[in-house]
């Protein structure tokens, strides 16, 4: 023991003499304190057994001094060679770090940390080391790891914290040492807790009417930590989770959404933290009910039974009765008007007329009338007979008949009746034979049709009044084969001088199947044909429409060249397309069909159509939480052979501008049997997917090789709820003449041009006008209804006829999208016919969601509406474009681009880079399976840019790819 103490003392003296500054990792106070500890250790080690622990402290303190710049000192020189080297220790790891604390009044706070392994732990506060004497150290051994665990506490007083000047808060952190190095803990801040006495803003008492939203404001006093705020209602804490009528804002204000009579109470704002609790002044809220008049009673009868009098009607202030100081109804409780009751006038006889001449029956007669005066106003009618007769020969003349004369008269009548019956029967038989002859000539035997392939020998022109027949404007030509359709069956022929027609046949499937039917339609300038499948399936409405359109050469042109269809104007279009392709567009709807060049085989012409199905005829089902996002569109004819995909463009109402995908979108198609099937789900495409769907902000483009009926549905993708874009359109009737009633209709429709056009057409038929521009609304998948209410009605001139304060449209009716058009009507009544100005506010919002407000100020007597509706089909916009004029990109440039990019490039500068530049790279495998991937990409680009007339986006993409030779060709040919 003596040699160890001497050696240690020599080492310390040598260190002190060579090292004049502390180790950069050690606190400055350790230099002196370490020395004193060593001296104490030496003293105690000579006298007792405590020296072993202190020697460990001294040995641990030795590496804390920096002697790296001294060449005459090292541990190997001080320690003997026989001293065993200690095993390597890991860096200290904190098991407990100091935590933020608040000093309440004058009570100090304790800061504690614990680390293992740790030879020393010291606190550092505000960048300065805490004196060693202020540390309370505890040491233990971890039984699991065998490492030394050291725990240190310090106390921080209010005086220490207050002595810190500056903007930075008082902070402390631990520094732990081991033989491997040092580790610092996170900072813990110490603040002085307080809570001011005075509130920055206190709630004020109010008187509000029933169901009027009320706001009670509260700004708690300043405090540290920031105080928590509670609201008391009659000294009971308000739990907003239990009563949804109360809402507490982030600023601690209290909102009562629809005050009830039971909400009349005293409200107090309470702020509290660890220091104290403060109460605001009490605000008294009184919910009153203003009185409302009941309906007028019926007018009483006039009190005067004859002459001038008066009548009255009454009403009572009970709808509702005033409560809690609410105003009594304004106006008189009764009305009195004068009345005049006409006095009854009893009828009187005129003088008797002269006697008539004596008749064959030896009588004459005379008459009189009840006209002196005639009975009026409920007067009695004359009593007595109007006519009297008497014998004019005073009994000398008697009436006799020859024997048998009566029998002869009766016999003549019977004979005339029999003759009439015979004539009627003859006419009926002749008419029946004529009709049967006509019907037998029109009906064809089905068996002969099977064997003779519908030879035209048994046909006659049908009557022109049959609404199901084709329009007889062009002579169709039947080839040697014919086709049969299930459902109402039609037979078609061609005669040189006869008009085309069809004859209803049997419903039996005996004629199924037959070869394809090829119908040719001749026109003065065009030749088109339609090949219909003969596979036995049923013909859809769209294909029957196409046949009807072909009978009228597909379209009729008026004097201005506008293209219209005889069925559903404004919702359909058709055109005869061939190998050069074209584009079908339904104006003002956003629906179009792009048929690229080469889609239809060379030499063939098809009458193609595009129809928006009306919602009451074709409903796209939404299963579960799914919602319909697009109109249901049919394109055809179905079953036709396509050499390359066509592009169907549909407008949608899904909100897609969120950073995370909120939607799971599915494309559906309708089978020939009427059932709906899923075609693809966006993001889950495979090589077997028959379509490709490109999404844009307001529309989607579907690349497909099979025509039919399509629609897009979607549902929320957890965890975020999806949103639909809706439009709110406000309509009212045209200027009322003599009616006091006035109705406001608010429609909730999809945010697409087609949906607005549909409502416009409906309101036009009802005589309504659009009062304001439609307003957008985001409808969230949150299961909350849409609430509509009218506010600020000038009650002096108008009153609402509805008892409810608001109306609601159920959430599922809007979200499913299959019930259209949805609307609510508010019935108002004006005080007199002279009132024409209406000013009010209409609020529409989803419960617990966003909303819109219509500020209405209108003159209901104006004949012209403030906002004129969209024209319904009267526009002369082209609904179809045929050939090269339908495409933005010339055919020569298109060929150059395809030749340059179709071949794979080792550098990746091929069609794949073009798809990435255009934003069409969501599923490249679809394009890779096509003979010309670049051509399909350009078709999709054509569909996405049908509204703009330049090639900037495509030229920019090619420029980024370095295709300068293609850019030169584009610039040259486009300029030419």
DSSP string, 711-770: EEEEEE-TTSPPEEEEEEEEEEES--SS--EEEEEEEEEESSHHHHHHHHHHHHHHTEEE
pLDDT (average), residues 496-502: 37
- pLDDT over 90 for what percent of the chain? 24
Measured CA to CA, the distance from residue 70 to residue 16 in angstroms comes to 12
pLDDT digits (tens, 9 = 90+) for 907-956: 678 888 889 888 888 888 899 888 999 999 999 999 988 776 567 778 88
Cα-based torsion angle of the residue sequence 828, 833, 839, 841 in order, rounded to the nearest 10 degrees: 0
pLDDT (average), residues 692-710: 93
Q: Please state the φ and ψ torsions of residue 65, each to the nearest 5 degrees.
A: -105, 140
For 769, other C-beta atoms within 10 Å of its C-beta total 21
pLDDT score recorded for residue 115: 92
Dihedral sign (CA 566, 570, 572, 576): positive
State the helix-helix crossing angle for 891-901 and 933-944, rounded to 10 degrees. 130
Residue 973's pLDDT band (cuts 50, 70, 90): low
411-423: b (≥16 Cβ within 10 Å) or e: eeeeeeeeeeeee
Cβ proximity of 824 and 845 under 8 Å: no
Sequential DSSP letters for 244-269: TTEEE-TTS-EEESS--GGG-EEEEE
pLDDT score recorded for residue 857: 84
pLDDT digits (tens, 9 = 90+) for 307-320: 788 889 999 999 88
For 530, other C-beta atoms within 10 Å of its C-beta total 24
Residue 267 has pLDDT above 90, yes or no: yes
How confident is the prediction for the chain on average, in pLDDT?
74
Cα-based torsion angle of the residue sequence 102, 104, 108, 109 in order, rounded to the nearest 10 degrees: -30
pLDDT score recorded for residue 279: 92
Residue 82 has pLDDT above 70, yes or no: no
Residue 578 has pLDDT above 90, yes or no: yes
Side-chain-side CA neighbours of 619 within 13 Å: the count stands at 11
Return all residues near 415 (Cβ < 8 A) that are at least 6 apart. none
Which 3-state string (H, E, C) describes 395-454? CCCCCCCCCCHHHHHHHHHHHHHHHHHHHHHHHHHHHHHHHHHHHHHHCCCHHHHHHHCC
pLDDT (average), residues 633-647: 91
Q: Collapsing DSSP states into helix, strand and coil, what is residue 548? A: helix
Measured CA to CA, the distance from residue 966 to residue 909 in angstroms comes to 13
pLDDT (average), residues 851-866: 73
Q: Please state the φ and ψ torsions of residue 915, each to the nearest 5 degrees.
A: -60, -40
Residue 967's pLDDT band (cuts 50, 70, 90): low
pLDDT score recorded for residue 649: 95
Nearest to 876 by CA among 549, 581, 557: 557
pLDDT score recorded for residue 238: 92
pLDDT (average), residues 639-648: 91
pLDDT digits (tens, 9 = 90+) for 52-79: 333 333 333 333 334 333 333 333 333 3
pLDDT (average), residues 172-180: 91
Measured CA to CA, the distance from residue 582 to residue 602 in angstroms comes to 14
Radius of gyration for the alpha carbons in the chain, expressed in angstroms and rounded:
50
Residue 668 has pLDDT above 90, yes or no: yes
pLDDT score recorded for residue 153: 94
pLDDT (average), residues 560-581: 69
Count the helices and strands in the chain (H runs, E runs).
Answer: 16, 52
Taking CA atoms, 701 is separated from 467, 661, 712, 803, in Å, by 37, 19, 11, 48
Greater pLDDT, 743 or 40: 743
Measured CA to CA, the distance from residue 704 to residue 633 in angstroms comes to 14
Greater pLDDT, 539 or 823: 823
Measured CA to CA, the distance from residue 799 to residue 804 in angstroms comes to 13
The answer to whether the peptide bond before residue 320 is cis (omega within 30 degrees of 0) is yes
The answer to whether the peptide bond before residue 637 is cis (omega within 30 degrees of 0) is yes
- Which two three-digit tokens encode residue 177? 């040492």
Residue 372's pLDDT band (cuts 50, 70, 90): confident
pLDDT (average), residues 430-449: 52
Beta bridge partners of 479: none
Residue 143's pLDDT band (cuts 50, 70, 90): confident
pLDDT score recorded for residue 619: 65
Measured CA to CA, the distance from residue 293 to residue 330 in angstroms comes to 9
Residue 565 has pLDDT above 50, yes or no: no
H/E segment holding residue 933: helix 933-944
Nearest to 320 by CA among 208, 214, 207, 210: 210
pLDDT score recorded for residue 114: 93
Beta bridge partners of 190: 101, 170
Residue 554 has pLDDT above 50, yes or no: no
Residue 336's pLDDT band (cuts 50, 70, 90): confident
pLDDT score recorded for residue 968: 60
């Amino acid at each position: 023991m003596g040699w160890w103490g001497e050696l240690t003392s020599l080492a310390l003296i040598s260190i002190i003499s060579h090292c004049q500054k502390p180790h950069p990792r050690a606190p400055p106070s350790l230099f002196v304190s370490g020395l004193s500890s060593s001296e104490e250790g030496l003293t105690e080690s000579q006298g007792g057994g405590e020296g072993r622990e202190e020697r460990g402290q001294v040995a641990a303190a030795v590496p804390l001094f920096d002697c790296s710049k001294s060449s005459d000192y090292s541990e190997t020189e001080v320690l003997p060679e026989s001293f065993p080297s200690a095993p390597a220790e890991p860096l200290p790891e904190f098991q407990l770090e100091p935590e933020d604390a608040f000093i309440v009044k004058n009570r100090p706070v304790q800061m504690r940390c614990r680390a293992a392994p740790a030879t020393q732990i010291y606190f550092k506060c505000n960048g300065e080391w805490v004196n060693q004497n202020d540390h309370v150290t505890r040491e233990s051994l971890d039984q699991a790891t065998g490492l030394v665990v050291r725990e240190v506490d310090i106390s921080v007083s209010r005086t220490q914290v207050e002595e810190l000047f500056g903007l930075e808060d008082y902070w402390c952190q631990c520094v732990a040492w081991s033989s491997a190095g040092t580790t610092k803990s996170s900072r813990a801040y110490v603040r002085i807790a307080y809570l001011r006495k005075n509130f920055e803003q206190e709630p004020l008492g109010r008187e509000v009417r029933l169901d009027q939203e009320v706001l009670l404001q509260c700004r708690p006093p300043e405090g540290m930590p920031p105080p928590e705020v509670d609201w008391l209602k009659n000294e009971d804490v308000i739990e907003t989770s239990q009563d949804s009528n109360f809402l507490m804002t982030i600023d601690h204000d209290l909102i009562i959404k629809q005050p009830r009579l039971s909400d009349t109470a005293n409200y107090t704002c309470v702020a509290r933290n660890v220091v104290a609790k403060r109460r605001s002044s009490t605000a008294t809220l009184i919910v009153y009910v203003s009185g409302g008049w009941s309906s007028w009673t019926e007018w009483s009868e006039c009190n005067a039974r004859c002459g001038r009098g008066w009548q009255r009607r009454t009403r009572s202030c009970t709808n509702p009765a005033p409560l809690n100081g609410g105003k009594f109804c304004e106006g008189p409780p009764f009305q009195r008007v004068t009345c005049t009751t006409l006095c009854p006038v009893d009828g009187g006889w005129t003088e008797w007329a002269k006697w008539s001449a004596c008749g064959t029956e030896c009588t004459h007669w005379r008459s009189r009338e009840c006209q002196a005066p005639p009975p009026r106003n409920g007067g009695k009618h004359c009593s007595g007979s109007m006519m009297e007769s008497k014998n004019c020969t005073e009994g000398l003349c008697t009436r006799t008949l020859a024997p048998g004369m009566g029998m002869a008269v009766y016999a003549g009548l019977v004979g005339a009746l029999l003759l009439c019956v015979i004539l009627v029967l003859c006419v009926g038989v002749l008419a029946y034979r004529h009709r049967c002859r006509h019907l037998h000539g029109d009906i064809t035997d089905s068996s002969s049709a099977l064997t003779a392939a519908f030879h035209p020998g048994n046909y006659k022109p049908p009557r022109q009044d049959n609404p199901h027949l084709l329009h007889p404007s062009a002579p169709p030509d039947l080839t040697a084969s014919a086709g049969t359709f299930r459902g109402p069956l039609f037979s078609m022929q061609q005669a040189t001088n006869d008009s085309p027609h069809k004859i209803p046949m049997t419903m039996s499937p005996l004629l199924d199947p037959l070869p394809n039917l090829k119908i040719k339609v001749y026109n003065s300038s065009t030749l088109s044909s339609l090949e219909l499948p003969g596979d036995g399936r049923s013909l859809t409405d769209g294909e029957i429409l196409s046949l009807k359109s072909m009978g009228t050469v597909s379209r009729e042109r008026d004097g201005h060249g506008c293209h219209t269809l005889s069925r559903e104007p404004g919702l359909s279009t058709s055109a005869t397309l061939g190998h050069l392709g074209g584009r079908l567009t339904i104006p003002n709807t956003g629906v179009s069909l792009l048929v690229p060049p080469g889609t239809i085989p060379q030499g063939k012409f098809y009458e193609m159509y595009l129809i928006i199905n009306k919602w009451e005829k074709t409903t796209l089902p939404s299963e579960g939480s799914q919602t319909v996002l697009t109109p249901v569109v049919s394109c055809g004819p179905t079953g036709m052979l396509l050499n390359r995909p066509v592009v169907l463009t549909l407008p949608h109402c899904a909100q897609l501008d969120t950073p995370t995908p909120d939607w799971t979108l599915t494309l559906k198609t309708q089978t020939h049997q009427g059932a709906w099937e899923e075609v693809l789900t966006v993001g889950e495409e495979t090589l077997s997917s028959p379509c490709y769907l490109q999404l844009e902000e307001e529309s989607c483009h579907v690349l497909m090789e099979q025509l039919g009926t399509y629609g897009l549905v979607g549902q929320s993708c957890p965890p975020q709820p999806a949103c639909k874009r809706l439009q709110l359109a406000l309509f009212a009737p045209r200027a009322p003449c003599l009616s006091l009633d006035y109705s406001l209709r608010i429609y909730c429709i999809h945010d697409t041009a087609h949906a607005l056009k549909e409502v416009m057409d409906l309101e036009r038929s009802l005589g309504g006008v659009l009062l304001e521009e439609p307003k957008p609304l985001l409808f969230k998948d949150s299961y909350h209804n849409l609430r509509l209410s009218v506010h600020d009605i000038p009650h002096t001139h108008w009153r609402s006829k509805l008892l409810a304060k608001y109306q609601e449209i159920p959430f599922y009716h809007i979200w499913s999208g299959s019930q259209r058009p949805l609307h609510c009507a508010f019935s108002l009544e004006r005080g007199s016919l002279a009132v024409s100005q209406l000013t009010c506010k209409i609020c529409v919002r989803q419960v617990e969601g966003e909303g819109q407000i219509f500020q209405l100020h209108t003159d209901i007597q104006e004949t012209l509406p403030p906002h004129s509706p969209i024209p319904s089909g009267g526009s002369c916009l082209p609904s179809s474009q045929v050939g090269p004029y339908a495409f933005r990109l010339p055919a020569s440039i298109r060929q150059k681009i395809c030749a340059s990019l179709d071949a794979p490039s080792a550098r990746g500068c091929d069609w794949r880079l073009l798809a990435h530049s255009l934003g069409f790279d969501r599923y490249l495998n679809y394009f890779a399976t096509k003979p010309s991937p670049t051509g399909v990409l350009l078709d999709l680009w054509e569909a996405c840019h049908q509204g703009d007339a330049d090639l900037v986006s495509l030229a920019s993409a090619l420029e980024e790819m370095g295709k300068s030779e293609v850019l030169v060709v584009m610039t040259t040919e486009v300029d030419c």
